[in-house]
């Protein structure tokens, strides 16, 4: 077993209100084996010298989890801002990219997108994956070829992945069939979805498979329980887009006479292993249902602002009992620091008051909250036994100089991440990805599918 010793100038340890200076962290076989704060530069716990330790100047955090991603949306960044429009007109552009992808081009695009995430300190991604089949919905020879491409992309980018294989069967709440580009998303019914997902068993231990219901638009009410039961029996996370748009609530009320949250609750979808993504427009009763059931909420603030979705009641949902996680979703921005501070700053805009979430609340959402939502209970803390994820943020850049370490979530950006270690392996050093030329690969992969 090869051990590596790291000396963090500051490290944010579990249950600490602020970072601790001079912490020696030892890792071996992908796990943290020692966490020893030093006093006056010397070990307090009998750990000898530090000559061989890799210095990590700045603030070292646990691994950040990006709990909601659609990798191919990265190709849309900066291309959807002409004219007016809304979520639905943006979706047409997204479908145009979806139409052009195949397993090879998706591998290239996702590898570049995940490598950008690694540069931003993301050590684990939750990929909400619905682009399953070939053009016109014809399955590939390997019906999980697209899933395999995403798992391989994460391996090549050096991060972990929870592939949230998404059941997507209909176009509208009242059951209109999938049409056009959407036909690539569909498996016919939930049983056939389950059969395909059950046949996908990635062998690398950087990957796990979870389940997702695209939304109440996409899974008929009588099939919701099939998906929920499969996730429950397998003990895997279940994610669902929920009330991102008022139109989804209106359609659900018109067809089913209740809100999407109520519908999910009545069909066994909510619970501690479930994460509701967005939850931007819940009613007060919905907030209570989510909280009482322990359902998590994944906020994606930069996407929600980009798509003009609205502001979810983050503070009320936490008070009701929902743990928070964060996602970059459409990748209009890939920066978990920005997502995290938006949780607090958006609440300030709504209430015209400050101080709704502490720095530790934001850290928790970005680390343990996200990892738990993705089924990795042993990641997201700088603690002995946890996965050896170390994300170091410089405190001497133009953005962070003079900022106290506790203020990092209100000052740092993804560009300030200098070193990233995932499962004990260094993926980013001096702000550079060690195996992927991220800007070049992004440019080429996007050119190949953008149709421009
Ligand atoms: Zn999404």
pLDDT of residue 9: 97
pLDDT at residue 42 above 60? no
The band of 86, judged by pLDDT with boundaries at 50, 70 and 90, is: confident
Mean pLDDT value across residues 229-250: 96
15-29, 38-52, 330-344: range with lowest mean pLDDT: 38-52
pLDDT classification of 43: cutoffs 50, 70, 90: low
Over residues 266-325, the pLDDT tens digits come to 999 999 999 999 999 999 999 999 999 999 999 999 999 998 889 999 999 999 999 999
Q: What pLDDT is stored for residue 40 in this prediction?
A: 64
The average pLDDT across 57-70 equals 98
Neighbour count for residue 18 (Cβ, 10 Å): 14
C-beta of residue 428 within 8 angstroms of C-beta of residue 417: yes
Calculate how far, in angstroms, residue 130's C-alpha sits from the geometric centre of ligand 1: 10
Does the pLDDT value for residue 30 go beyond 60?
A: yes
- Type and span of the H or E element at 109: helix 103-119
Q: For residue range 138-183, what is the model confidence (pLDDT) as tens digits?
A: 999 999 999 999 999 999 999 999 999 999 999 999 999 999 999 9
Number of residues assigned to the chain: 452
CB of 46 closer than 8 Å to CB of 33: no
The model's pLDDT over 193-209, given as tens digits with 9 standing for 90+, comes to 999 999 999 988 999 99
181 C-alpha to center of ligand 1: Å? 17
Q: Is 122 helix (H, G, I), strand (E, B) or coil?
A: strand
Q: How confident is the model at residue 92 (pLDDT cuts 50, 70, 90)?
A: confident
- Distance (Å) from CA 268 to ligand 1 centroid: 21
Match 């997902």 to its residue by tokens. 197
Query: Which of 107-121, 258-272, 356-370, 438-452 has the lowest average pLDDT?
Result: 438-452
pLDDT of residue 171: 96
Q: What separation in Å is there between the alpha carbon of 280 and the centre of ligand 1?
A: 12
pLDDT at 90: 80
Is residue 48 pLDDT above 60, yes or no?
no
DSSP codes joined into one string, 139-184? PPSSTTHHHHHHHHHHHHHT-EEEEEEEE--BSSTT-PBP-GGGGG
> How much distance in Å is there from the Cα of 241 to the middle of ligand 1?
6
- First-to-final CA distance of the chain: 50
Ligand 1 centroid to Cα of residue 70, in Å, is 6
**Is 115 a residue whose pLDDT tops 60?**
yes
Q: 68, 273, 278, 371: which is the annotated catalytic residue?
A: 278
Contact 123, 30 (CB under 8 A): no
| pLDDT (mean) for 104-129 | 98
Average pLDDT, the chain: 95
The yes-or-no answer on residue 329 being catalytic is yes
Predicted pLDDT at 46: 44
Catalytic position from the list 309, 329, 335, 423: 329
pLDDT tier at 450, thresholds 50, 70, 90:
confident
pLDDT per residue as tens digits for the range 124-141: 999 999 999 998 999 999
pLDDT above 90: percentage of residues in the chain: 88
From ligand 1's centre to the CA of 329, what distance in Å?
5
Residue 45 has pLDDT above 70, yes or no: no
Strand, helix or coil at 274? strand
Of 87-91, 114-118, 369-373, the least confident: 87-91
Helices (H), 352-452: 359-364, 370-373, 438-450
- Identify the band that residue 385 occupies on the pLDDT scale cut at 50, 70 and 90: very high
Indicate if the pLDDT at residue 2 is higher than 90. no
Check residue 85 and give its pLDDT. 78
Distance 113 CA to ligand 1 centre (A): 15
CA 73 to ligand 1 centroid distance, Å: 10
Q: How confident is the model at residue 95 (pLDDT cuts 50, 70, 90)?
A: confident
SS3 content of the chain, % helix, strand, coil (to 5): 40, 25, 40
Task: Flag whether pLDDT at 339 surpasses 50.
Answer: yes
Q: How much distance in Å is there from the Cα of 1 to the middle of ligand 1?
A: 40
Instruction: Count the neighbouring beta carbons within 10 Å of the beta carbon of residue 96.
Output: 15
What distance in angstroms lies between residue 254's CA and the mean position of ligand 1's atoms? 24
C-alpha of residue 239 to centroid of ligand 1, in Å: 10
């Amino acid at each position: 077993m090869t051990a590596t010793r790291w000396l963090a100038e500051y490290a944010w340890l579990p249950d600490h209100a602020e970072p601790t200076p001079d912490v020696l962290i030892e890792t071996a076989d992908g796990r943290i084996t020692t966490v020893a704060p030093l006093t006056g530069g010397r070990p307090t716990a009998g750990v000898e010298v530090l000559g061989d330790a890799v210095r990590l100047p700045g603030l070292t955090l646990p691994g950040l989890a990006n709990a909601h991603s659609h990798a191919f949306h990265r190709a849309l960044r900066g291309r959807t801002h002409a004219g007016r429009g809304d979520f639905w007109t943006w979706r047409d552009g997204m479908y145009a990219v979806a139409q052009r992808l195949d397993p090879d081009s998706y591998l290239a695009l996702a590898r570049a997108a995940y490598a950008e995430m690694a540069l931003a300190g993301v050590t684990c991604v939750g990929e909400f994956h619905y682009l399953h089949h070939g053009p016109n919905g014809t399955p590939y020879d390997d019906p999980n070829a697209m899933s395999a491409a995403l798992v391989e992309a994460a391996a090549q980018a050096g991060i972990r992945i929870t592939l949230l294989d998404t059941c997507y069967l209909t176009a509208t709440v009242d059951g209109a069939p999938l049409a056009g580009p959407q036909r690539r998303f569909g498996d016919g019914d939930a049983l056939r979805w389950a059969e395909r997902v059950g046949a996908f068993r990635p062998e690398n231990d950087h990957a796990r498979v979870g389940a997702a219901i695209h939304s109440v638009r996409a899974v008929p009410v009588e099939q919701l329980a099939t998906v929920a039961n499969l996730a429950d029996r397998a003990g895997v996370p279940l994610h669902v887009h929920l009330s991102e748009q008022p139109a989804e609530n209106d359609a659900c009320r018109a067809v089913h006479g209740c809100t999407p949250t109520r519908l999910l609750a009545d069909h066994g979808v909510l619970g501690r292993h479930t994460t509701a993504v967005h939850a931007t427009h819940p009613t007060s009763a919905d907030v209570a249902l989510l909280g009482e059931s322990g359902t998590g909420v994944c906020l994606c603030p930069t996407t929600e602002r980009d798509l003009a979705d609205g502001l979810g009641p983050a503070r009320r949902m936490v008070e009701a009992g929902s743990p928070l996680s964060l996602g970059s979703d459409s990748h209009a921005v890939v920066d978990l620091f920005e997502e995290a501070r938006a949780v607090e700053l958006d609440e300030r805009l709504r209430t015209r008051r400050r101080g709704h979430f502490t720095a530790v609340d934001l850290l928790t959402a970005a680390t343990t909250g996200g990892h738990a939502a993705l089924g990795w209970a042993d990641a997201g803390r700088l603690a002995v036994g946890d996965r050896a994820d170390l994300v170091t943020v410089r405190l001497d850049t133009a953005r962070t100089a003079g900022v106290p370490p506790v203020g990092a979530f209100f000052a740092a950006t993804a560009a300030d991440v200098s070193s990233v270690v995932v499962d004990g392996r260094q993926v980013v050093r001096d702000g550079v990805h060690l195996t992927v030329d991220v800007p070049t690969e992004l440019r080429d992969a996007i050119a190949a599918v953008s149709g421009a």
